[in-house]
């Protein structure tokens, strides 16, 4: 029998099985036995499906693996080159941003200092004028008043990392747990969302299988489900 014919036959058999399962009603020992025989039949069909499709799947999988391997072989040096150059671009851009910020901070401080001096000179001139006019009280009040920060305009500083169409440098923010106990405590106290703690379901299931009814973990419970096992 050809592979195509075998696939068609097992497919036709499989498509009829859900309807048969739907019509089976278990009401007594006899119908329970019929259902049990049917589920054994299903396991035999599944085995037949495995025998029919596994060689096809294996062949397709091997072809897929070979194609993936060939693509990876060609892609790896390109990705390596991109990592190298992207790291260099990122480092240079970050350094230029640091230089730009430092220069703008310097210019801002200079502008603020210049504005402060100009404000002091203006006050001295105003106080001197008031003294000449005989208003020493107002002159003293002007001199004693605290100096408030003066608004300044700081020019934008150009960097050696110009904008390039197609490239952007978004900031990436990541969270890092530095003290797990503190995080757990914060979640317990409602100061952090419970979603930050991920349940290790594999470990939880392993404990349940090992301890069975003796399973006792705060905030958890053991769930027992019935299953059907048969020969294939």
With contact defined as beta carbons under 8 Å apart, do 114 and 130 qualify?
Answer: no
| Count of Cβ atoms closer than 10 Å to residue 152 Cβ | 15
pLDDT band at 73, cuts 50/70/90?
A: very high
Tell me, what's the pLDDT at 171? Answer: 83
Does the pTM surpass 0.75? The reply is: no
**Could you report the per-residue pLDDT of 159-176, keeping only the tens digit for each?**
877 788 888 888 888 899
What's the half-sphere exposure (Cβ side, CA atoms, 13 Å) at 227?
A: 5
Domain ranges of the chain: 3-160, 177-225
- What values do phi and psi take at 88, rounded to 5? -65, -45
Encoding tokens for residue 51?
């025998």
Distance between CA 105 and CA 57 in Å, rounded?
Answer: 64
Spatial distance between the Cα atoms of 40 and 46, rounded to a whole number of angstroms: 10
Per-residue model confidence as pLDDT tens digits over 128-158 = 888 888 888 888 888 888 877 778 888 888 8
How far apart, in whole angstroms, are the C-alpha atoms of residue 13 and residue 19?
11
């Amino acid at each position: 029998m050809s592979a195509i014919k075998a696939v068609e036959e097992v497919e036709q058999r499989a498509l009829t099985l859900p309807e048969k399962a739907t019509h089976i009603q278990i009401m007594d020992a006899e119908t329970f036995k019929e259902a049990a025989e049917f589920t054994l039949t299903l396991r035999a069909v599944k085995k037949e499906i495995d025998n029919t499709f596994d060689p096809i799947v294996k062949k397709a999988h091997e072809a897929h693996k070979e194609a993936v391997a060939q693509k990876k072989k060609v892609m790896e040096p390109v990705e390596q080159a991109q990592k190298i150059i992207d790291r260099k671009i990122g480092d240079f851009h970050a350094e230029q941003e640091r230089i730009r910020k430092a220069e703008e901070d310097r210019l801002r401080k200079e502008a603020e200092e210049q504005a402060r001096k100009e404000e002091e000179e203006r006050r001295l001139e105003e106080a001197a004028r008031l003294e000449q006019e005989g208003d020493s009280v107002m002159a003293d009040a002007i001199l004693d008043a605290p100096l408030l920060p003066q608004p300044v305009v700081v020019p934008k500083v150009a960097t050696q990392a110009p904008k390039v169409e197609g490239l952007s440098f978004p900031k990436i923010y990541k969270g890092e747990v530095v003290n797990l106990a503190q995080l757990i405590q914060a979640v317990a106290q409602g100061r952090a969302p419970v979603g930050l703690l991920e349940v290790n379901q594999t470990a939880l299931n392993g404990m349940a299988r090992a301890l069975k009814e003796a399973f006792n973990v705060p905030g958890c419970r053991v769930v027992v489900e019935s299953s059907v096992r048969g020969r294939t």
